[in-house]
Amino acid sequence: MVVLATALLLGYRAVFIEPRYWGGACAAVAAPLACLPRAGLLWMQQHYLWGALALGLGLWALLGRAPFVVRVAAVVAGVAAVANYNATWGMAGAALGVWAWLRPQAA
C-alpha cells in the first residue's frame, strides 16, 4: 500500500506537476481537466497540509487506539508529505506511524 501510493504520487508529480508546460497550460482560459487535482495538490503543499495530515494521523496512531489502517495511512501521508516538500512534519508523522505500526498492540 505504501509503495503503491508513493509510486502513484511520484508518477503524478513527474507528469503533471514538474513539467513547466503545465504551469502555462493551467493558466490558460480553457485549462485542461488535469489542472484541478494539480491545483489542489499544490495548494495543500503551499499550506503545509500534507505534513499536518501526516503528523495528525501519526499522533492518532501512536497515542490513540487507532485501527491498523490509520497506522498505514500515517506512513502513506508522511511519505506523500516528504514528496511534496512538507518534509519536517511529514517525516515526524511517518515516523510516528511506523512506530505505532511496529509496536505490539495491547489486546
64, 94 contact by CB (below 8 A): no
92 falls within a domain: yes
Query: Residue 107: its pLDDT value, please?
Result: 45
What is the share, in percent, of the chain residues with pLDDT greater than 70? Answer: 97
State residue 106's pLDDT score.
53
Q: How far is CA 97 from CA 13, 17, 42, 84, 107, in A?
A: 24, 27, 24, 18, 19
Q: pTM of whole model > 0.75?
A: yes
Q: Would 24 be classed as within a structural domain?
A: yes
pLDDT band at 1 (very low <50, low <70, confident <90, very high): confident
82-106: pLDDT as tens digits = 988 899 999 999 999 999 989 876 5
Q: Is residue 107 part of a domain?
A: no
What is the total count of domains within the chain? Answer: 1
Would you say residue 79 has pLDDT above 70? Answer: yes
For residue 69, give its domain range.
2-102
